[in-house]
Structure 1
Amino acid sequence: MQKTLLLVDGSSYLYRAYHAMAQLSSPSGMPTGALYGVLNMLRRLRMDVAHDYACCIFDAKGDNFRHALYPAYKANRPPMPDDLRPQAAALPELVALMGWPVLAVPGVEADDVIGTLAREAEAQGLQVVISTGDKDMAQLVNEHITLVNTMSNETLDIDGVVGKFGVRPEQIIDYLALIGDKVDNVPGVDKCGPKTAVKWLAEYQTLDNIMAHAADIKGKVGENLQAALSHLPLSYQLITLKTDVDLQAELPQGLENLRRQSPDWAALSHHFQQLGFRTWLKEAQTRLAEAAQQGQSGDLFAAAADNKPPAEAFRQPESKAPAAAPAELSYQAITTQAELDTLCARLAAADTIGFDTETTSLDAMNAQLVGISIAFAPGEAVYIPLGHSLTAVAEQLPLNTVLGCLKPFLAAETPAKIGQNLKYDQHILANYQLTLGGIAGDAMLASYIVESHLGHGLDELAERHLGLNTIKYEDLCGKGAKQISFADVALADATTYACQDADFALRIEAHLRAQMDVAQLAMYTDMELPVAQVLFQMERTGVLIDKHELAQQSHELGSELITLEQQAYELAGQPFNLNSPKQLQEILFDKMGIPTNGLKKTASGGISTNEAVLEKLALDYPLPQLILQNRSLAKLKSTYTDKLPQLINPASGRVHTTYAQAVAITGRLASNNPNLQNIPIRTEQGRRVRRAFIAPSGSLMVSADYSQIELRIMAHLSGDQTLINAFNHGEDIHRRTAAEVFGIAPEAVSSEQRRYAKTINFGLIYGMGQYGLAKSLGIDNLAAKNFIDRYFARYPGVADYMQRTKEQAQAQGYVETLFGRRLYLPGIHSSNGNERAGAERAAINAPMQGTASDLIKRAMIDVQHWLASDNLESKLIMQVHDELVLEVPQTELDTVKHRLPEIMAAVGEMDVPLLAEVGVGDNWEEAH
């Protein structure tokens, strides 16, 4: 059997474990989180990958040959954190005691040693598996060398590299030289991102050839390429791994020095005891006793891997193993001044904490504190009761005393805060004029990144990732009319419940962060967490509502509803309850005799009168059309014109919607109380509701809306040159499509032909087929099929994209946005044809919707940063679909109108320009 060499990028493991793990410490106070994380990853790797030889490679101290080539190499990297230094010093010895040969060679990097060992093993006929998350290593991949990423369960062979990066392994160096590496401070081509690099390499194959044809590449990015010609050879040299490092001194017997070894259990037992790794200490002592009894050494870290056949070397587990549980729990209530003093002293020394609040209500703007819980490590947390009743908690500290103590620690960047939906907790603290700073993680948002198609509540997450059942709120407070307030829950029960929330959030977030690949981690830290801060500010600000305008609209809608009812009675020949399905069935199908063939039935066997059925009937009969109008206006009245005034906060005089960030698989935001996303815009009455959203005196509403964003994304993702050229030349895309489909000049396109083209453009990006298009246009199926065939003939890139996307979804179970957000499609492998077809349609549209949501989130972050950095009084107040709405003082109007669309247009590098159209008015309708 072919033998395997397993190589581990130890330095990469160290930093990944440091950022992923909760802050643990030994009995002596030494930080141990990174040590525990690395040893745990090595333990699992040794079980999962069958191998005959192994080595864990670390970077040696001091500069290497790349610094001589380029003194600014890695100049941007911050120094190693103080709490990581002792762990980095202790790690190589522990790894060696576990049975892993360890190397650190001065003058070169760990990557160079790995490259040298990989090529040497390949030359000797071995298979090589490299465990790393470093993209530079992809240049080594071939039929004998494979990369595995233990944190994301990703395996990269040749096809995997092409799928991930869009280029072949032998093009990786060219690719990385073009895009540069900000982490290592390697310069690339300015504004050349992955998509541009892939496009150039597809056309020119190599960096040398791209440089030779630099004059042929037009536009700003072409100018940037020409400007970079002088340094690109150096960038290429810096990125290229050295694969001929002299290792004779380190490995006098060559690869034989790397044969896998058994752990030194006696030495490990001593270290585990000092480090406080109690579970591993017990296992190590057991192995040591067994080995002494049997005269041989057991291998805790190898398990049964020695007997595993090579075919199982890349076994991917079906699901992630639950996060490691602490040996025992330590949950404590803080009820005395001495305990509070001790807590504050501990907070002063803490690096990271889990944080949660218990409150009187889910209404974040008005809820009051009942208690605060803080977790310091897995299984170790405290609860401070603040607003419990005397019958539940006999002794609790004064609210002002506790908040005065906690205030500086809550506001500071350190300790870093981890929680579950921390935006809510920010609002609670803001109700007391307190700031929650240093937000470093959120279990809900981490779950949203890793597993967007699943639930993100703490109860679900604990069961899924910790293998534990939480105490439910109803368990303590009951349900329905007999439900009590959390303030009346006894201290012991409240402490366990509240500490569990902070503790579990801390553990789950670390566990999920460890599963993220590079793109997911960037999306989590650079997009979702910052967006949550923007949303907090928007929610806090709220929007001013004109109650008198809404009252007038409610009155008018009421009159229209009465008129519609009277018209319905006349058509039916009698009065009836328009909201009664039973009476409506009798009128439509019994009295009026409307045929029921092909209409949907209810569970009881009657004919349905739901919206879909009424829409179908409304094509031929006036009464169903009236019923639909009635339902639409009644919903508008009850949901908005009647309800919005009730939602005005008495303290601020504004409505404060709540944005839900972890709901839609595509990354789209949702809102509730009120739901801003669902205000109708296709009817005059719906648009009028926006008149009630007003700017205060001296200010105006400014709306910036991305123009045809999903069609632009389609052009970019598909690479269709006709679409790209149309957008780049500022053409009317619907007129251009009509010209292509009807085979006429753009200036000859009629308004009806443009309407057809618009329906086709938007229909196809939602995966619409010929039957859906026929229904939308009111034409027969054959005519619709001809339109679609002509469309794809003129836009072949779109057809290729759709087929490619469906195949990707079927192969992976998910598709991705331009920025790496994974959009899971659970129904893509369904045996139900309709469900599977629906998932395929979703697969086509999801990358466009998802990329659009990513772009608007990037815009929110950049706009908020600009407003703050320039000390402007303008405020972001709403985000709806592809639109941002700001409240702008008249003195800042010209600045905002000029700068806002520029910022929004610059948030994504694409083959077509992004365009944001700006409107201004006294109210939202005027501005939109």
Structure 2
Amino acid sequence: MTNKTLYLVDGSSYLFRAFFVPNLRRLTSKDGHPTGVIYGVSNMIQRMLDEYNPTYMAVVFDAKGKTFRHDMYAEYKANRPPMPDELRMQLQPTKDVIKAMGIPLIEVPHVEADDVIGTLAKKAEARGVETLVSTSDKDLAQLVSKHVTLVNTMSDTVLDEAAVFDKFGVKPSQIIDYLALIGDSSDNIPGVNKVGPKTAAKWLADYGSVDNIIKHADEFKGKVGEYLREGINQLKLSRELVIIKQDCDIAYEPDDFLIGDKDIQTLNQIGQQYDMKRFAELTAEGVKKEPEVKTDYQCIDDLKDLARYLKTVEQSGLVAVDLETTSLQPIGAEIVGLSLCCEDNKAVYVPIGHTEDSQQLDLSDVLDVLLPVLNKVKIIGQHFKYDLNVLSNYGRSVETLEYDTMLESYVLDPAANRHDMDTLADIHLNRQTTKYEDICGKGVKQIPFAEVSIQQATHYAAEDADITWQLHHKLWSDLKDLPQCAVFQELEMPLVSVLASMEQTGVLIDKGELDKQSRELGETMTQLEQKAYEIAGKEFNLGSPKQLQQILFEEQGIPVKKKTPGGQPSTAEDVLHDLAADYELPDVILEHRSLSKLKSTYTDKLPQEISAQTGRVHTSYHQAVTSTGRLSSSNPNLQNIPIRTEEGRKIRKAFIAEPGWQVMAADYSQIELRIMAHLSQDEQLLKAFKNGIDIHSQTASQVFNVTLDEVDGSQRRAAKAINFGLMYGMSAFGLSKQLHVSRKEAAGYMAQYFNQFPKVEAFIEGIKEQAAEQGYLDTLFGRRLYFPDITNRNARVRAGAERAAINAPMQGTAADIIKKAMLAVYREIKNADDIKLIMQVHDELVFEIKQDSAQKWSEKIKTIMEDVVSLDVPLEVEYGMGGNWDEAH
């Protein structure tokens, strides 16, 4: 690109891109005004300025109101929801920032931003000026030519003519026809039914254009040919709708697009108004451009030099540490190198296992001098549980982990779903880090880190330690004076070593039992398939939604309950559950799906996850995923093992103990209901729990107006659904579906419940009001849970946030309690050789205990768990023992 190049930014694309970045969504001013979009868009534009140093530039936005396409097709964009309030509130301030940055901003009534961009690109080309368009909108690919290029700065992809063909399978000149064929659900452009990207690309390769496809429509065979012929008029309309207008009434004079001087006063006012230091601390030079960071990253390949650096670490008393390894799976991973940092922008890298033929240090020598120093100072890590597990492969450990930047970010905002170092560096430090793929490549061409040159590895790894160091200081300054700091220091950080120990221990799996279950599941699935064929009167693919639609709704005449976004009858699981109450085939399909999932996810897959080094399965526990503080797990996902069916419960038989040991499972009983009793202070609930009365029977007695002795099984089951349903914010409609009663009857149950437990109703209403007023709620122990959609104007979105808010104090407090229990139990058993904590699942802890110690430990663990916190109702722990996890229940 030359300095004459016209740079056009698709402002609307930038707006929505910034709005949906999780960590940006939590940014607000002191008075609660959202600022993430203002920050994000200005940051992206500044990045464009830094990278391309343009002379001519404009940011183009969609103007308010309908466009000429609405005149052509009244349903154009009819599916789009209104702009979210949180985005609308930031729209004008964002535009004000852009103008104050000296960048021309364009909006043209009755056309879209794409049309303005297309017109300007064409007029620029006529004057011999090249155009670069920054966007993520695929529609603009039709503009690509020798003189027009697209760039997506988020994915770092550039679309020239060759790249368009590589991505879409068609030339830029065919993009209009391609888009017309596939349609666009977001713009409500219909396209041709059942024609997707691959079919469209093939047709255009064969016929060249939509006009030629229409001319030869009779040659297209099968159902898709029928759809084509039926939709020819619709196809012609779709084609007109996707064409970007290139003759808008807008002049192109190059000087109109010159980037001007910054308006320092306006930028300062915006910064002060919205508490954005990015603008509030400007210098006379304009927007405070982040200075090019000067770093000092050194490679240490001599033990004496390492010893000298470790003296600096010891004097600092605080150090960021990061390991580079051979695998993302920590158990069995080998150390390739390690980096250390105890000063901004200065870090060192110690190479150990690179394939490069140059001087490196011996791992044992490094650990021998490093670990004694690390155990004297405070360690900062980013997801350091991984590093602890890798060190355990060598029989080494550190005990001085004090801070983890992933967990600092998580405790500050558990609702954000990204707490990785690269994202945090971008948000909090305005730093773009070197990505793993940048030095190792992607996909099949990716090389192991050990094959990366030591020079490249030094910058990459040292930067990791440096960024971790700087992130900690930024995040800790935000966190240290907040109430939730106690959650970080007393729960999350101590838990890291407990989880690391559990992961290192792993779980013993009976492969033979799983093989047997896989065979049995396969046989049952075959029987279910035969049964389905008999009901349908023919063979069909039970996993094909299209064939299911035809059989259920066309051939069997079953009423359609719900449709897909494409207008087809839905065969989703909730729909089949509704139908299964009245029709046999949906019930058979559901059972087949359930068994298929069990087989593929557990009985077939678990044996593949047994470690060759240990003979055990080592699940990974995740602290920074769920918004409520609950742990999640993967490889395998222990939280999702189904226990409501006999086949699901059987999976637990494969989780076994060593010979001479037993499995013990200790489970908090009805913990969330007990927490609700404590928080609501409802006398009836408090009394029931204090007196050891079964809470579901108590509820049934109150709702159905019978004595406790008269409560039958069906009434207790209904009461259980009511207890948990109300705690999860369930409506009368949801309860009616669960209990298979009318909505009126369900509403009556709810009214009777609240009549008997009035403080519960007041508590629930109070939660909703508090969440709406504050935007957050706190658990009993200070964990803060955010609800950004609690005041959303969209009723459905708002209702979902309210449901989440109702349950959050109970579920979040339960999460805190089980974590407190894990810490207390681990302190007791840490140095014992006859007990191991091997799993945590929901409100349950699972142990392996030597048989002759089983009774001693089971009673002790029950006591520890029940006494770990003091509520106004007693906590109750139920436990069991057995040769496997299933027998322990």
TM-score, normalization by structure 1 = 0.64
Paired amino acid for 1:873? D
1:636 aligns to what? Answer: 598
1:382 aligns to what? Answer: 348
Are 1:498 and 2:456 matched, yes or no?
no
1:551 aligns to what? Answer: 515
1:612 aligns to what? Answer: 574
8 A Cα contact 1:602 1:608, kept in partner: no
Partner of 1:783, secondary structure, is helix
Structure 2 runs not aligned, ≥5 long: 1-28, 31-263, 282-287
1:903 aligns to what? Answer: 864
8 A Cα contact 1:519 1:819, kept in partner: no
Determine the C-alpha separation between the residues in 2 that align with 1:325 and 1:873: 57
1:877 aligns to what? Answer: 838
- How many Å apart are 1:767 and its aligned residue? 0.3
Are 1:759 and 2:725 matched, yes or no?
no
Are 1:534 and 2:495 matched, yes or no?
no
CA offset digits 1:258-316 (Å, max 9, x no partner):
xxxxxxxxxxxxxxxxxxxxxxxxxxxxxxxxxxxxxxxxxxxxx99xx99xxx99x88
Partner of 2:662, secondary structure, is strand
- How many Å apart are 1:748 and its aligned residue? 2.1
CA gap 1:654/1:327 in 2 versus in 1, 3 angstroms: closer
Q: Which of 790, 798, 802 is the matching residue for 2:764? A: 802
1:300 aligns to what? Answer: none
Partner of 1:418, secondary structure, is strand
Are 1:676 and 2:638 matched, yes or no?
yes
1:49 aligns to what? Answer: none
Paired amino acid for 1:848? M
8 A Cα contact 1:418 1:443, kept in partner: yes
429-438 vs 513-522, which deviates more?
513-522
CA offset digits 1:599-651 (Å, max 9, x no partner):
12143x32232212222222222111111111110111111111111111122
Q: Which of 409, 413, 416 is the matching residue for 1:451? A: 413
Paired amino acid for 2:315? A
8 A Cα contact 2:662 2:882, kept in partner: yes
Spell out the pairing of 1:387-466 with structure 2 (5 A cutoff): 387-390=353-356, 394-410=358-374, 412=375, 414-454=376-416, 455-466=418-429
Are 1:365 and 2:331 matched, yes or no?
yes
Q: Which of 458, 466, 477 is the matching residue for 1:514? A: 477
1:317 aligns to what? Answer: 275
Q: Which of 486, 489, 504 is the matching residue for 2:452? A: 489
Determine the C-alpha separation between the residues in 2 that align with 1:350 and 1:422: 20
Are 1:471 and 2:437 matched, yes or no?
no
- How many Å apart are 1:510 and its aligned residue? 2.4
8 A Cα contact 2:486 2:782, kept in partner: no
8 A Cα contact 1:544 1:654, kept in partner: yes
778-787 vs 477-486, which deviates more?
477-486
Are 1:711 and 2:673 matched, yes or no?
yes
Q: Which of 295, 312, 316 is the matching residue for 1:350? A: 316
8 A Cα contact 1:335 1:395, kept in partner: yes
Partner of 1:878, secondary structure, is strand
Q: Which of 658, 661, 671 is the matching residue for 1:699? A: 661
1:784 aligns to what? Answer: 746
499-508 vs 710-719, which deviates more?
499-508
CA offset digits 1:196-219 (Å, max 9, x no partner):
xxxxxxxxxxxxxxxxxxxxxxxx
Partner of 1:646, secondary structure, is helix
CA gap 1:403/1:327 in 2 versus in 1, 3 angstroms: same
Paired amino acid for 1:482? K
CA offset digits 1:95-115 (Å, max 9, x no partner):
xxxxxxxxxxxxxxxxxxxxx
Paired amino acid for 1:353? V
8 A Cα contact 1:513 1:521, kept in partner: no
334-343 vs 530-539, which deviates more?
334-343
Paired amino acid for 1:317? D
1:480 aligns to what? Answer: 443
Spell out the pairing of 1:5-20 with structure 2 (5 A cutoff): none
1:583 aligns to what? Answer: 547
CA offset digits 1:396-454 (Å, max 9, x no partner):
223333233223224x1x22110101000011111122212200000001111001111
Q: Which of 843, 848, 854 is the matching residue for 2:805? A: 843
1:193 aligns to what? Answer: none
- How many Å apart are 1:473 and its aligned residue? 1.1
Are 1:561 and 2:519 matched, yes or no?
no
Partner of 2:789, secondary structure, is helix
Determine the C-alpha separation between the residues in 2 that align with 1:796 and 1:507: 51
1:886 aligns to what? Answer: 847
- How many Å apart are 1:488 and its aligned residue? 2.2
8 A Cα contact 1:600 1:613, kept in partner: no
8 A Cα contact 2:655 2:884, kept in partner: yes
- How many Å apart are 1:821 and its aligned residue? 0.5
1:333 aligns to what? Answer: 299
Number of aligned residues:
615
Are 1:912 and 2:876 matched, yes or no?
no
- How many Å apart are 1:327 and its aligned residue? 6.9
Spell out the pairing of 1:15-26 with structure 2 (5 A cutoff): none
Runs of 4+ in 1 over 6 A off after TM superposition: 318-327
8 A Cα contact 1:326 1:379, kept in partner: no
- How many Å apart are 1:879 and its aligned residue? 0.4
Q: Which of 693, 703, 710 is the matching residue for 1:748? A: 710
Determine the C-alpha separation between the residues in 1 that align with 2:664 and 2:355: 47
Spell out the pairing of 1:810-889 with structure 2 (5 A cutoff): 810-868=772-830, 871=832, 873-889=834-850
- How many Å apart are 1:326 and its aligned residue? 11
583-592 vs 720-729, which deviates more?
583-592
Paired amino acid for 2:501? Q
Spell out the pairing of 1:10-409 with structure 2 (5 A cutoff): 317=275, 328-390=294-356, 394-409=358-373
Partner of 1:594, secondary structure, is coil
- How many Å apart are 1:518 and its aligned residue? 4.6
8 A Cα contact 2:839 2:846, kept in partner: yes
- How many Å apart are 1:536 and its aligned residue? 0.6
1:299 aligns to what? Answer: none
Partner of 1:402, secondary structure, is helix
8 A Cα contact 1:325 1:466, kept in partner: no
- How many Å apart are 1:360 and its aligned residue? 1.3
648-657 vs 760-769, which deviates more?
648-657
Determine the C-alpha separation between the residues in 2 that align with 1:335 and 1:807: 61
- How many Å apart are 1:894 and its aligned residue? 1.7
- How many Å apart are 1:480 and its aligned residue? 1.2
8 A Cα contact 1:361 1:367, kept in partner: yes
- How many Å apart are 1:362 and its aligned residue? 0.5
Determine the C-alpha separation between the residues in 1 that align with 2:710 and 2:555: 50
2:882 aligns to what? Answer: 921
Are 1:735 and 2:693 matched, yes or no?
no
Partner of 1:397, secondary structure, is coil
670-679 vs 507-516, which deviates more?
507-516
Determine the C-alpha separation between the residues in 2 that align with 1:327 and 1:480: 31
8 A Cα contact 1:325 1:378, kept in partner: no
Partner of 2:887, secondary structure, is helix
1:688 aligns to what? Answer: 650
2:626 aligns to what? Answer: 664
Paired amino acid for 1:333? C
Are 1:652 and 2:614 matched, yes or no?
yes
Paired amino acid for 2:547? Q
Over the residues paired in the alignment, what is the CA RMSD in angstroms? 2.4
8 A Cα contact 2:837 2:846, kept in partner: yes
8 A Cα contact 2:656 2:884, kept in partner: yes
CA gap 1:872/1:434 in 2 versus in 1, 3 angstroms: closer
Partner of 1:744, secondary structure, is coil
Paired amino acid for 1:922? G
Paired amino acid for 1:535? L
Paired amino acid for 1:394? S
CA gap 1:812/1:317 in 2 versus in 1, 3 angstroms: farther
